């Protein structure tokens, strides 16, 4: 009996030892497995969060694209604030996340080849200024189109426009004998349009794109031309203040005048041709009053560009050759004739390019889209960061 008890005791000790060894081995095997499972769960949760953010970010970009394509007022706001991002409010959250969405009008592009003749004698870009295009007096003749991003007002008598007439908000005609346009009907459009040709003042400033041109001339302060028959030196003339012509028969062949203040042409029979293709006079002066004034007839040879102020064409019975692109344009007195000089612009379609940025969590979706006249939207790029 004693031997049996001793045998059982020995067997129990061996079993206990075996059990302890097995338990230790199990712990060595299970702990890494549990750690792996924990890591996998954390990775899975992280991946799920990342996917939710990506889905929300993409959804925000898609909504931004829908907003641009289907909301004319928003599209108009983007065009009017070119280069400045505008916020897009999401109508609801996506999987519990609300992406931050912004859209921006990047640029106007012209696609395709060839070239065409510029058709607009008058272009007013303001969307808010009353009488954006204001034609008064009598007997004016405009050989070219008239476009306004807001209103056109015609008063007086016997004004003719030998080209298309296009406006956004209203066309007011009073008086008698007008042909606006001479043939056909005026066209009301829904969305304001960017200037068909435009330039950036920064390109003309010292250190800018054109400042290294060998024919670049810098004028500090006001520049007045007072001598009859003066010939302006060829090239780009950058004027830090006002530019004024107070003499007859001033000649400026292959000349572009860029002024930071008003441009005032007081005497007739001037003759210009542009140095920078199509651009003769440019000011970025911002005012609701006149920033460019032509008080007499002559030949600008190209475009007068005043995107932030009013261009005024005055005096009577004179002919002026040029195209006038301003924030607003007015034609006064009587018998003024406006004729477009030979202006060639790149051919092809005019397209608007937009960027959309949508961010959710750590994911940012950036989309670039383009829409050309008469065509559907085209996605140029779509990528995640």
Per residue in 260-276, pLDDT (tens digit) is 999 999 999 999 999 99
User: Is 20 a residue whose pLDDT tops 70?
Assistant: no
Q: What is the pLDDT of residue 107?
A: 84
Q: Could you tell me if 344 and 364 are in contact, meaning their C-beta atoms sit under 8 angstroms apart?
A: no
* pLDDT per residue as tens digits for the range 310-360: 999 997 768 999 999 999 999 999 999 999 988 877 666 778 899 999 999
For residues 67-98, b (16+ Cβ closer than 10 Å) or e, as one string?
bbeeeeebbbbbbbeeeeebebebeeebeebe
pLDDT band at 8 (very low <50, low <70, confident <90, very high): very low
pLDDT band at 45 (very low <50, low <70, confident <90, very high): low
* pLDDT per residue as tens digits for the range 63-76: 999 999 898 889 88
Angle at 205 between CA 200 and CA 210, to 5 degrees: 75
For residues 161-175, b (16+ Cβ closer than 10 Å) or e, as one string?
bbbbbbbbeebeeee
Q: What is the pLDDT of residue 227?
A: 96
Rama region for 43: left / alpha / beta (φ>0; ψ in -120 to 50; rest): alpha
Q: What is the pLDDT of residue 150?
A: 97
pLDDT band at 117 (very low <50, low <70, confident <90, very high): confident
Bridge partners for 350 per DSSP: 110
- The phi, psi pair for 202, rounded to 5°, reads -60, -25
Q: What is the pLDDT of residue 95?
A: 77
CA dihedral 179, 185, 190, 194 (to 10 degrees): -60
pTM of the model: 0.65
For residue 124, count other CB atoms closer than 10 A to its CB.
28
Spatial distance between the Cα atoms of 32 and 3, rounded to a whole number of angstroms: 44
User: Is 186 a residue whose pLDDT tops 70?
Assistant: yes
User: Is 103 a residue whose pLDDT tops 80?
Assistant: yes
Q: What is the pLDDT of residue 347?
A: 63
For the segment 30-52, the average pLDDT, to the nearest whole number, is: 60
User: Is 43 a residue whose pLDDT tops 50?
Assistant: no
Q: Say which residue, 345 or 142, is predicted with more confidence.
A: 142
Both tokens assigned to 69: 């394509």
For the segment 50-61, the average pLDDT, to the nearest whole number, is: 88
For the segment 17-45, the average pLDDT, to the nearest whole number, is: 57
Q: Say which residue, 334 or 2, is predicted with more confidence.
A: 334
User: Is 302 a residue whose pLDDT tops 60?
Assistant: yes
User: Is 100 a residue whose pLDDT tops 90?
Assistant: yes
pLDDT band at 183 (very low <50, low <70, confident <90, very high): very high
pLDDT band at 377 (very low <50, low <70, confident <90, very high): confident
Q: What is the pLDDT of residue 6?
A: 57
Spatial CB neighbours of 239, under 8 Å, sequence gap ≥ 6: 219, 222, 223, 257, 258, 259, 260, 261
Would you kindly state where each structural domain of the chain is located, as residue ranges? 1-114+347-385, 115-215+272-345
């Amino acid at each position: 009996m004693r031997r049996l008890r001793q045998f059982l005791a020995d067997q129990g000790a061996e079993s206990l030892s075996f059990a302890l060894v097995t338990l230790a081995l199990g712990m060595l095997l299970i702990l890494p497995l549990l750690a792996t499972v924990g890591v996998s769960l954390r990775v899975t949760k992280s991946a799920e969060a990342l996917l939710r953010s990506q889905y929300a970010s993409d959804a925000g970009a898609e909504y931004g694209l829908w907003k641009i394509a289907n909301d004319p007022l928003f599209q108009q706001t983007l065009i009017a604030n070119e280069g400045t991002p505008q916020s897009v409010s999401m109508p609801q959250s996506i999987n519990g996340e609300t992406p931050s969405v912004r859209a921006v009008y990047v640029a106007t592009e012209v696609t395709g080849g060839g070239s065409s003749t510029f058709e607009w004698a008058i272009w007013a870009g303001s969307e808010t200024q009353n009488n954006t295009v204001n034609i008064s007096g009598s007997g004016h003749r405009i050989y070219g189109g008239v476009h306004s991003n807001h209103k056109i007002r015609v008063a007086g008598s016997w004004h003719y426009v030998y080209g298309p007439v296009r406006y956004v908000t209203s066309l007011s005609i009073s008086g008698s004998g007008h042909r606006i346009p001479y043939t056909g009907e005026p066209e009301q459009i829904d969305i304001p349009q960017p200037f068909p040709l435009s330039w950036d003042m920064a390109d003309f400033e010292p250190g800018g794109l054109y400042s290294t041109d060998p024919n670049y001339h810098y004028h500090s302060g006001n520049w007045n031309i007072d001598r009859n028959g003066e010939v302006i030196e060829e090239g780009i003339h950058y004027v830090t203040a006002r530019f004024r012509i107070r003499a007859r028969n001033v000649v400026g062949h292959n000349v572009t005048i860029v002024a930071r203040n008003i441009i005032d042409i007081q005497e007739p029979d001037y003759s210009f041709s542009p140095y920078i293709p199509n651009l003769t006079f440019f000011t970025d002066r911002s005012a609701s009053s006149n920033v460019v004034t032509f008080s007499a007839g002559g030949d600008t040879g190209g475009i007068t560009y005043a995107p932030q102020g009013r261009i005024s064409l005055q005096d009577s019975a004179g002919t002026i050759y040029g195209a006038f692109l301003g924030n607003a344009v007015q034609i006064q007195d009587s018998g003024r004739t406006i004729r477009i000089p030979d202006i060639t612009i790149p051919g092809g379609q005019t397209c608007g390019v937009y960027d959309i940025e949508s961010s959710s969590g750590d994911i940012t979706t950036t989309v670039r889209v383009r829409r050309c006249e008469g065509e559907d939207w085209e996605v140029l790029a779509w990528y995640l960061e």
